[in-house]
Copies of this chain bind each other. A is one copy, B any other.
Amino acid sequence: MKITLEEMCDELQKVNRVVVAGHVIPDGDAIGSALALAMILKSIGKDVRVMFDDNIPRNFMMMPTCEKIERPSEKIDVDALVIVDTAPDRIGKVLECVGDVPILNIDHHVSNSGENRKLFCDPHAAATAEIIFEIAIELGIKLTKDFAVCVYVGIATDTGFFQFSNTTAETLLIASDMLALGVKPNLVVEVLEQRPIEVVKGLGQSLNTLEVWHDGKAAGMFLDEDLVANLETTEGFIDEIRVIEGVDVSLLLKFMAKNVCRVSMRSKTVDVSKIAMQFGGGGHLRAAGCTLKMPFEDAKRTIMQAIDDALN
């Protein structure tokens, strides 16, 4: 059941003991929103615990009160569960842990349907953290620097530091308020962008596999079994070749297991979701992926040909 921001604020004022939870594989917006909302609720006298059924990535530990996040274990007794930045299906064991209590749900994902719970969802918000800020204003909370850091990290990470298409004038207005409260963007960036040395070395090795074809309109990196063996993550690698002048379609092909290869694609004009769908994958116009169940060299030939066809 969808409710308004004002109704959500009323609901939050009614409860006394609550758990605030976000999704597994937590990102900056899930964690920042949960922590900022917990600060709001504490400041109006509520008993609040924040729970994630997953590890908190090291880089996000700089958010104030992050160390107080709990993993769900034995059953606990609360009035309500507040879920941020996701529907209840992605909060893991927190659901069992709190039992059958009313759920309040705050989100910005348009796909959230809100069945069997009270949901405030604003798909125009670039981040759930924007909504948490609006709730603080609606409830007349005195904003602190700690709160500002959490909201700022949520918004900055969900907008790629204000560079993605979801960034609005309102997004930057809120970010401006967070700076006025004392957030230092350079210090936040310094912590968030930290990467393990293996990932930095892996980027170098991956760039060595760079091939450009179709008159420079396609560029790909080809990470075979040997190369991926030492690679913790390839997150962000495709962005390094996406920026090559003249490249429309960029590709990351990655060995996953014997006869299983993962394809990630980005584009400037070509509909790469169509290419992905040919192989049972999907995605968006400009960012899509699929899995090819074949040996690495066959996968390489197959996806390069499919990109050629799409560019023709």
Given the complex, which residues of B lie within 8 Å of A173, measured CB to CB? 172-173, 176
Cβ A244 vs Cβ B196 within 8 A: yes
Interface string of A98-119 (1 = CB under 8 A from B): 0000000000000000000000
Q: Which of B172, B184, B207 contacts A179 (CB 8 A)?
A: B172
Q: Which of B162, B169, B177, B243 contacts A200 (CB 8 A)?
A: B243
Cα distance A201–B60 in the bound complex, in angstroms: 31
The residue among A167, A172, A193, A216 with the most chain B CB atoms within 10 A of its own CB is A172
Cα distance A172–B180 in the bound complex, in angstroms: 10
Cβ A203 vs Cβ B172 within 8 A: no
Cα distance A168–B186 in the bound complex, in angstroms: 11
Number of interface residues of A (CB under 8 A): 45
Output the least CB separation between A84 and chain B (Å). 24
Cβ B190 vs Cβ A200 within 8 A: no
Given the complex, which residues of B lie within 8 Å of A219, measured CB to CB? 197
Given the complex, which residues of B lie within 8 Å of A207, measured CB to CB? 200-201, 203-205, 207
Using a CB-CB cutoff of 8 Å, which residues 196-218 of chain A contact chain B?
Answer: 196-197, 200-201, 203-208, 210, 212, 216
Cβ B201 vs Cβ A210 within 8 A: yes
Cα distance A8–B163 in the bound complex, in angstroms: 33
Interface string of A281-295 (1 = CB under 8 A from B): 000000000000000
Taking A193-B243, A200-B240 as given, write out 7 further A-B residue pairs in contact, using a Cβ cutoff of 8 Å, ordered by the A residue number: A165-B184, A167-B185, A169-B179, A195-B245, A197-B210, A197-B216, A200-B243
